Chain A
Amino acid sequence: MRGRIVSLMLLVLPLAVAAYAQDDRQRVVTRYEANVGDKKFDPRDLSGIWTLTRNDHSLGTPAPPLTPAGAAAKAGRRADTPGAFGNAPWYACNPMGFPRLLNDDEPMELVMLPNRILQLFQWEHRVRVLWTDGRNVPSGEHLENLGPAWYGHSVARWNGNTLVVNTVGLDERAWLDNQGNPKSFRARIEETWRRVDANTLELQLTLYDPEYYTAPYVGSKKTYKRMPDDAITYFGWYGLYAGITEGICAPMNEVEGYNKEFRDPGRAAKP
């Protein structure tokens, strides 16, 4: 009898796994499915609040082999593993930097202005400025004088209905992804954004960094969905507090309040 029950359990287990996988996916989908009736859109208007359809804090593809300089830059970085936390700088509230923040879980808003596009990230409560006024990305002496920035310096232009964004001058201390892959100050990252329907944005990102990588690092296509109004509203009120909210990483909250006081004790060795 007991064997039969165990067999039944083994039979049920894969079904339960499938059901939970469905729930996991559904948790994201329920946040934007209210938009499905919307059909009209301007492919050059990316405004809205958008969220990734799946959590993936990497570029979505394997990284090309590193150069010796790239390997040296990555040395000492420990990614999270199932049994241990890594040493990613964001655990101490350092900026995730670009493009790591782009691949994070919380939504971002795109605001279209005449001469630039603002990208507002909920996590870090961060603003990225994508210049659309025809300027070039800084290079040479100008880039050297500007120096590194956590989110770099970004310029965008339209190629048909595809928005092409180039970013240079990135701070090497920020990890490229959750694996601790590096990027050099002289790297360039090119994003292509396409609004494929009223509720869907597609992003593809490529890292050009011959200093640290033996080949361009071509990321996978990522999909963002537009958040419906009721998902960006506080308590049913479309007032001042709707929209991207304050996901600020404050060390007194994050490091002292959460890491040290709550999370880490739960991971201590069994008594």
Chain B
Amino acid sequence: MQKLPILWILIAVLALPESLIAHHGRGATYDMKTRVTLKGIVSRIDWRNPHVVIYMDVKGADGSVMTWGFENAGVSQLAQAGYHRNTLTIGQEITAIVNPAANGGPTAIVVKVILADGSEIMSRETGANPAN
């Protein structure tokens, strides 16, 4: 337990808040100091403006399934970065690294998505995804 505060400081340093002033404001929706890694199956894709939302079923340690939704940039911005509505498909296994909702609920904003072959897509870290 002694190491926990240091761990949180590390997480805070590695995941500093970024500007989240999109044309469609999110206010303080997300805890940008925290990152969560979700492993699961894509269950629904809302490919629409103002922000694309991808839902995935994540199995917990106890076997229960929680559905998470994480948002992305808008359709035009994702398309200009080379992504389309079939880039991810229902049933596909993915790992999503996200900043979770501030209230602890199962919604989030994407940091990046890692595919089964290890490739990273829709990353806000590389600049390829202008989600803001």
Residues of chain A having any CB pair with chain B under 8 Å: 2, 5-6, 9, 12-13, 16-17, 20, 23-24, 26-28, 30-31, 55, 57, 80-86, 88, 90-91, 96, 104-106, 122-123, 178, 231-236, 241, 245-250, 253-254, 257-258, 262-263, 265-271
Contacts and interface: CB of A to CB of B under 8 A. Distances in A.
Contact of B103 (A12, A235, A269): A269
A249 B22 contact: no
A144 B127 CA distance: 48
Majority SS at the chain B contact face:
loop
Contacts of A245: 75-76, 79-80
Contact of B82 (A24, A26, A235): A235
- Interface size band for B: 35 or more
A98 B108 CA distance: 32
Contacts, number: 139
B25 to A, nearest CB: 5
Given A91-B24, A271-B104, A23 B13 contact: no
A254 B76 contact: no
B48 A265 contact: no
Given A55-B132, A84-B28, A263-B29, 11 more contacts: A2-B6, A9-B10, A9-B13, A105-B23, A247-B75, A250-B49, A254-B24, A262-B107, A265-B107, A266-B107, A267-B103
Contacts of A83: 27-28
